[in-house]
Amino acid sequence: MGFKCPLVIGKLKSNEINSVEIIRGIANLEMGFQPCIPQDVTFFSPKTTNGFRIYDDRGCDIWSTDRENLRPIYYNLNDWILDYNRQEIDLIFK
C-alpha cells in the first residue's frame, strides 16, 4: 500500500502568477464565495527566504530565516497582528 501525499511544488516568477486572485480564492472558501481554492497554498521566496500562507479570510502566517527581512512588514502592518499573537511577536522585534 502506497502513501498518497497531495503536494505540488512549483517554481514560478512572481510575474507569472496572479497572486491576488489566488489569495482571493483562498479567502473566498471561508466565506462560501466562488471561485474558491480549497488547497493550502504557500508562497516562498528563495531569494529572501520569506514564506507566506493565508489560512482564511481573516489571517495569514509570514515567516523567514532572517527576522530583519520581516521587520518592515512588522512595522508597516503592525495593526494587522492578532491580539492573540501580539505579545509573542512584539518580543521578536523589540
DSSP state of 49: T
For residue 55, what pLDDT is reported? 80
What does the pLDDT look like over 20-62, one tens digit per residue?
898 889 889 888 999 998 888 889 998 889 999 988 777 889 9
Find out whether 55 and 61 touch, Cβ atoms under 8 Å: yes
* Residue 5: pLDDT over 70: no
What does the pLDDT look like over 40-49, one tens digit per residue?
888 999 888 9
For residue 75, what pLDDT is reported? 95
* Residue 2: pLDDT over 70: no
Residue scoring higher pLDDT (77 or 13): 77
CA 73, 83, 67, 13 torsion-angle sign? negative
Helical residues (DSSP H) of 32-82, grouped into ranges: 67-76
What does the pLDDT look like over 62-71, one tens digit per residue?
999 999 999 9
For residue 91, what pLDDT is reported? 95
